[in-house]
Structure 1
Amino acid sequence: MLQFLIYFLGLVAIGLAGWVNRTFGDPTIDQILFHLRFSDGAAVEMSTIFLFTFVVEVIAFPLLLAIAAALLHHVVAQVRPQWRKHVLRALPHVALLVGVAALLMQFSVFSYAAAQLEGDRFAQAYVNPAAVRLTDGKPRNLILIYAESMEDTYGEKALFGNDLLAPLRKLGGTSFDSYQEAVGANWTMAAIVATQCGVPLTVYSEYDIKRRDGGRVFLPGATCLGDLLQARGYRNVFMGGAPLSFSGKGTFLRDHGYQEAYGRTQWKEQGVKATELNVWGLYDSALFERARNKLDALHASGQPFNLTLLTLDTHNPRGFLSPSCASRGAKDFEGIVACSSSALADFVTFARAKGYLKDTDVVILGDHLAKPNSAFDKLQQEGQRRIFNLFIAPTRMQPNARELVAFDIFPTVVEMLGTHVDGDRLGLGFSALAGSSDSLGIGRASRSDFASLRGSGVYRALWSPQHLPAAVHTKLAAAIAAK
C-alpha cells in the first residue's frame, strides 16, 4: 500500500507538471499563488473549463499507472535476487523525486530561489510617477483595448493560410515591431498592472495583500494611469466579459481611478441574453455592442474619458465560439481569432465613422502571448513571437524604440494623450515617444531582475495600506491646480 501511495504521488506530480504546461504554458509561482489568494469565487466557477483534462491527466491516468506499477513491483519483488530487491525498493522514491523535480522545474522554483539572492534592483530602476513633473497639453480621450492572448504570429500567412489579423491591420495607425512579453507581466492581470502602473505583479501572501476596512486593497501606494487621468478630470470606465472578482481586477480598478466597471456579474444583473454568455463571461460581440452605447454616452458628455475594454473569446484552451462568430463561418480556434479581430476592428471603425477619433486616441494591445491552445503548434513555429500592438492617433507616431515591453505602455500612453512626462519615465517604463531611446536597450523583456520582488522594500511599500487612493488623487489634483 505504501509503495502504491508513493508511486501515485510521484505520478500525480509528473501529471500535474505536464497538465500545467499543456494548459497554461509556463506560469510562475507568483502567478499561481496570486490567483489562489486573489480570485474569490470566480476562479472556482471558471475552473470548470479545465476540470475534465485535470481529472484525466492529473488523477485518473496517474492512478491507473500507479496501480500497474505497484502490481508489477510486487510481482518482480518475488523473483529477483536480494541485491536487486534493494534497487527495486528505491524505485517508488525515485518516481516521487522525479515528480517533485518536474513540478519545481515547471514553476521555475530554482530560478525563483536564485532571484531571492539578488539586490533590490527594483528600487534602483523604479521612478515614482507621483514625483514626476507632468506638463499637460490639450487632453485627448482614450480607448484602451486589451485583446486576450492576441499576438502578431496570428498574422503569419505561411502558418495559418491567411492573415487572421487583417481587419486590425487595415485600421492604419502605428505598431511597434517588437512588443515583448516581460517577466512579471505575462498573464492578464499582471499585464494590466504593468501597462497601467509600470510595475510587475508579484503578490503571494496575506502580508502582501493588505486590507483596509475589512476589504482588500490593490497596490494602494502605486500611482497608475487611472489615477493620473482621474486627477485630470477624466471619467474612467472598464468593460470586460469575465467577472471583476477574478484576479482582483475589480479591486484594482476601484483603487486606481475607475468610476465604472462592468464584468460578468454586472452584465447578468442587466439581463443579458443567455446566448450572449459563456462559462467565462460575455462574448466579445456582445461586449462591443455595449461598448458602442457607452462610447456614445461618454463622448456626448463632453468630459474627457478613458474607456478600457478586455476581450475574452480568444482565451485558451479552446476559445469561446459565439453565435455571432458561428454565423460568420467560424468553426475552430483560428476562426475565433479572425472573428474576434474583426469585431474589434468593427468597433474602431464605428468610432471613426462617428467622428470620435478626432479627439480620441485608440490603443489596442494583446495582454500577453497566447497560452497553449488548439493552434499552439503553429504559433511555436514562429522563431520570434511578439505581442500585437496598435496605436491610432491623428498624427502618426514615430516609433523610437527597437523593443517595447509592457512597462513602457504607461508613459507612452500618458504622452500620447497630450501630457509631457519630464524625463520620459514612469514606473519601470520608458516613453516610446521620447526623443531618444538609447536607454531602453535590448533584451529588457528577458531579464530576470524583477522576477522576485519579495525582498524589495520599495515594491512592498506600493502595497502599504497607508497609501490610500483618495490621498493619491488629492495630492495629484493639488499639484495640477498649483501649476
Structure 2
Amino acid sequence: MKRRRLISILSVIVVFIGLVLWKVAKWVPQSFGDIPFEQVLFHVMVPMKGTDTSVFDQFVSYCLPTPLAISGILLVCFIIKDWKLTCDIKNGEFKHVRNNILIILTTACCLFVYGFGLVDCIYAVGIDDYWYNIKHPSTIYENYYVDPASVTYTFPEKKRNLIYIFLESMETTYEDKENGGAFEESLIPELTLLANQNLTFDNGDKSNNGFLVPAMSGWTAAAMVGQTSGVPLNTPAGANGYLSDTSFLPGAYTLGDILAANGYQNELLLGSDAEFGGREYYFKLHGNYNIVDYKKAIENGWIDKDYRVWWGYEDLKLFDYAKIELTKLAESGQPFNFNMLTADTHFVGGYPCSECEDLYGDQYSNVIRCSSKHVTELVKWIQEQEWYDNTTIVIAGDHKSMDNEWFKDIEDSGYNRKCYYTFINSAITPTTQKSRKISTYDLFPTTVASLGITFDSDRLGLGTNLFTDTSTLVEIMGFKKMDKQITQHSNYYDKYILYGKRKD
C-alpha cells in the first residue's frame, strides 16, 4: 500500500512538471520571442532582486493553472481509487485482483506527459541550440577581436565629457516609413528629428538606420556590456563564480576602464535596483562607477522608502534626477562620463507616467511617444548648459523590445527591426560618407573616438570605429553569420574574457 501511494504521488509530480514545461514552451516564445538559452542561464546566475513583478505574474497566470488543475484531478482519482479491479475471472465468479496493469499504464502515461513537456521545452527555449554551440566553438575572436587593453589611447588636452543615455527597448521600428521605420506616422517624432539633425552613420540611406542587435546582447545587462566593451555576454553553465560582485568579465577592458584610467568620474543613474542582472557588478568592477539607483534615491531623500512603481521609480523622476547629478558632476571641474538607463518602455506594455497622453488608444504606443518627448527635452536642457560645448551625447536603445505580441504584425511582414541611436556634438566627423551596417559592438570604439580620443586601432573588441572606413563585422560577414558565430561558444572568449586569464 505504501509503495502504491508513493507511485501515485510521484506520478502526480511528474505530470505536474511535464505540464508546466509544456506551458513554458508556449509562454517563452509568445512573451519574449526567439531568445537564446544563454539569456535564461544568465538570469539564473545573477541577482533577480529589483525585477518588475509583471513578468512573474504573467508566468504564474499562464503556466500554472492548467498543470495545477489536471494534477489535482489526477491526485483525487488516485486517492479515491484503491488500485484494485473487480473482474469476472471464470465460471461466473468475481474476484478482487490487484490491477498491476493499470498501475503500469498510468505510470507510463505520466512519464509520457513529462517527456513530451521536457522535449517541447528544450526546443522552445533553445537548449538544443545551446548544446550545438558548445560542440561547435567559434573562431571569431581569433580572427577579428582586438583587445582594448592592448591599444594606446591619446586624449585631447581638454578632456571631453560624455553623456550616454541607454533607452529601454528603443527601436527605429517606431519611426515612420520615410525614415526607415514600420509606421505611417512616427511614434518617436522628437527622436527622429534629433537623429536627423545629428550624427548617425546611415548617411541618408534610411534602410540602414539604427543598429542590429546580436542575440548575446539582446537583454539590458548584455546590451550595456556590448555597447561599452565591444563583446557579448556569453555565459556558459557553471560560470557563476565569474559573474559576481568580485568578478564580472575580468578579461574585458571597457569604456569605463579607459576613462577611469584617465581621470574621469564615472556614474550610472537608473530608476531600478542596480543589482538586478548584475549591472552593479559590471559597472563597479569596470570603471568604479558611482551607482545612483533606486536604493540610492531613497537614501538621497528623492523618494519615500515605501515608494515603488514599475521597476522602482518612473522615468519622469529619472530625468529630473539626471539634471541634479549632471549639475553636480559639471561643478566638480573633473571630466565626467555620465550614463543613465530609462525603463518606462520595458515590456509588457510599458509604464504610462502622469504626463503620458492617450494619442493612439494603445498603452505601449503612448509610452513610447512619451519617452521620445522626455528624452528630447533632457537633451535640450543639456544643450543649454555652459558645459555642453565640451560634451558629447550618445543616445542608444539597449535592445529590441520583448513585447512580442505587440510586434506580431510587424514581424510577420518581414520588417527588419533595429535599435535607435545618434551621436550629438561629436568631437570629430566620419572620414567616409558611405552608409554603414552596424551592430551593438560598433558603438564602443565609435563612442571613444567621438570624445576626440585617438587610438592605434580601427577596432576595439569586436566593434569597428565608424569614424574610419574600416568595414564592420556586419559588413564583412553579414549579420546572420556574425550573430551565429557570436552565439557559439568560444574557447578564446572563455579563457581570456570570461575567466580573464593572462594572454601570453
Same fold (TM over 0.5): yes
Q: Equivalent residues in 2 for 1:56-135 (5 A)?
A: 56-66=61-71, 91-124=109-142, 125-135=144-154
- Residue 326 of structure 1 deviates from its aligned partner by 5.8
SS in 2 for 1:299: helix
1:204 & 1:232 partners in 2: Cα distance?
33
Aligned to 1:195: 227
Q: Separation in 1 of the partners of 2:34 and 2:243? A: 30
Are 2:336 and 1:305 aligned? yes
Matched, 1:33 2:26: no
Amino acid at match of 1:48: T
Q: CA deviation at 1:12?
A: 1.1
Q: Secondary structure at the match of 2:485?
A: coil
SS of corresponding position for 1:179: coil
1:249/1:268 CA distance change after superposition, 3 Å: same
Alignment partner of 2:58 out of 53, 60, 83: 53
1:150 to 2:174 alignment: no
1:420 and 2:454 correspond? yes
Q: Any stretches of 5+ residues in structure 2 without a counterpart?
A: 1-7, 86-101, 203-208
Q: 1:276 to 1:346 in 2, by over 3 A?
A: farther
Displacement of 1:414 in angstroms is 0.8
* Alpha-carbon distance change, 211 to 232 in structure 1, aligned in 2, over 3 angstroms: same
Asked whether 1:217 is paired with 2:253, we answer: no
Give the Å deviation of 1:422: 1.9
Instruction: Measure the CA separation in 1 of the matches of 2:192 and 2:223.
Output: 22
Summarize deviations over 1:260-303 as a string: whole Å, max 9, x none: 11111111112233597414112111111111122222223332
* 1:260 aligns to 2:290 (yes or no): yes
> CA 1:412–1:303 in structure 2 vs 1: closer, same or farther (change >3 Å)?
same
> Structure 1 residues 328, 306: closer, same or farther in 2, change over 3 A?
farther
**Residues 143-190 of structure 1, C-alpha deviation per residue, up to 9 Å, x if partnerless?**
111100111111237965631111112222123425101131111101
- Against the structure 1 CA distance between its residues 373 and 322, is the aligned structure 2 distance closer, same or farther, given a 3 Å change threshold? farther
- 1:457 to 1:179, Cα distance in 2 relative to 1, 3 A: closer
- Residue 408 (structure 2) pairs with residue 377 (structure 1): yes
Q: Which has the larger radius of gyration?
A: 2
Pair 1:118–1:141, CA change in 2 (3 A): same
Is the alpha carbon distance of 1:168 and 1:207 closer, same or farther for their aligned partners in structure 2, counting shifts above 3 Å? Answer: closer
Deviations 1:8-32 (A, max 9, x none): 3322111112222233323322222
Quickly say closer, same or farther: Cα 1:202–1:233, change in 2 above 3 A: same
Q: For residue 211 of structure 1, report the CA deviation from its aligned partner.
A: 8.3
Matches within 5 A, 1:321-340: 321-325=352-356, 332-340=363-371
Q: CA separation in 1, counterparts of 2:355 and 2:110?
A: 52
**Post-superposition shift, 1:370?**
0.5
Write the distance in 2 (CA, Å) between the matches of 1:47 and 1:303: 36
Aligned partners of 1:241 and 1:280 also within 8 Å: yes
Shift of 1:325: 2.7
Which of 11, 14, 18 is residue 10 of structure 1 equivalent to?
18
TM superposition shift of 1:247: 1.2
Q: Are the equivalent residues in 2 in contact too, given 1:173–1:390 (CA < 8 A)? A: yes
Q: Which secondary structure state, in structure 2, belongs to the residue aligned with residue 163 of structure 1?
A: coil
The question of whether the paired residues in 1 share the 8 Å contact of 2:273 and 2:295 is answered with yes
Read off the aligned partner of 1:170 and give its amino acid letter: L
Pairwise CA distance, 1:3: 5.4
1:411 and 1:6 mapped to 2: Cα distance?
Answer: 51
Instruction: State the partner residue of 1:81.
Output: none
What's the TM-score once normalised by structure 2's chain length?
A: 0.81
Q: 1:59 to 1:337 in 2, by over 3 A?
A: same
Q: How many residues align?
A: 457
Deviations 1:316-372 (A, max 9, x none): 112122223369999711111110111111000111122544211111111100002
TM-score normalised according to structure 1 size: 0.84
Match of 2:300 among 260, 263, 270: 270
Specify the alignment match of 1:136 in structure 2. 155
Code of the residue aligned with 1:419 in structure 2: it is I
> How far did residue 55 of structure 1 move?
1.9
2:31, 2:405 within 8 Å by CA — same for their partners in 1? no
What is aligned with 1:408?
442
The CA deviation at 1:219 is 1.7
Q: Bigger shift: 96-105 or 181-190?
A: 96-105
Q: Report the AA paired with residue 121 of structure 1.
A: T
What is the 5 A alignment of 1:216-365?
A: 216-273=246-303, 277-325=308-356, 332-365=363-396
Q: 1:331–1:120: structure 2 CA closer, same or farther, 3 Å change rule?
A: closer
Q: Aligned to 2:471, what secondary structure does the other structure show?
A: coil
Q: Do 1:159 and 1:378's aligned partners in 2 also have CA atoms closer than 8 Å?
A: no
Change in Cα spacing, 1:136 to 1:47, as seen in structure 2 (3 Å) is closer
Q: Counterpart amino acid of 2:399?
A: H
* Correspondence for 1:173: 198
Q: Partner of 2:97 in structure 1?
A: none
Distance, in Å, in 2 between the alignment partners of 1:438 and 1:241 is 34
- Residue 175 of structure 2 contacts residue 187 of structure 2 at CA under 8 Å; is this kept in 1? yes
Alpha-carbon contact 2:255-2:448 (below 8 Å) kept = yes
For residue 402 of structure 1, report the CA deviation from its aligned partner: 3.0
1:185 aligns with 2:227: no
